[in-house]
Amino acid sequence: MSGDWRRIELSRDAVRAGELEIIRAQFALYCMAGDTAADVAIFTRRNKAGGSDLYFSPAALRYAEFVFERHPPCASGQPALLGSTLLVGNHDAVAALLGKSSGVQSFRKQTEQKSELSVRFLHSPAPAVNR
């Protein structure tokens, strides 16, 4: 079953242009509209070129046609647990799909952490000026 995964590669420019977030949002909406199983998931990993590789679980393939029209997939094994981020899916499925889930963060959690840091930075008190 691990060979039934599909992978697409997004270039650094595509990631910068927001394609990763577009795929996440569209796929999440599509899954919410249907009755998706707990093992429907997309994982992402940063690649050496600075882009992202997206891994679609076997159960996610039937929901990913709209993504594959824009980004042709290649057959792949499941991603390694270390360095993988759950982009879309049930966090409980991580253990079933990749094994132990303690090393995988969700994309939402990473985004919330970055937003929290941004808010703290934007609302930090102005430094005292020495005169």
Contact 42, 57 (CB under 8 A): yes
Secondary structure (H, E, C), 103-126: CCEEHHHHHHHHHHHHHHHHCCCC
More confident residue, 83 or 112: 83
Could you read off the pLDDT of 70-82 as tens digits, one per residue?
A: 999 999 999 988 8
CA distance 64 to 8: 11
How many beta carbons lie within 10 A of that of residue 105, not counting itself?
Answer: 15
Could you read off the pLDDT of 4-20 as tens digits, one per residue?
A: 999 999 999 999 999 99
Could you read off the pLDDT of 90-129 as tens digits, one per residue?
A: 777 777 788 765 555 555 565 565 555 444 444 445 555 5
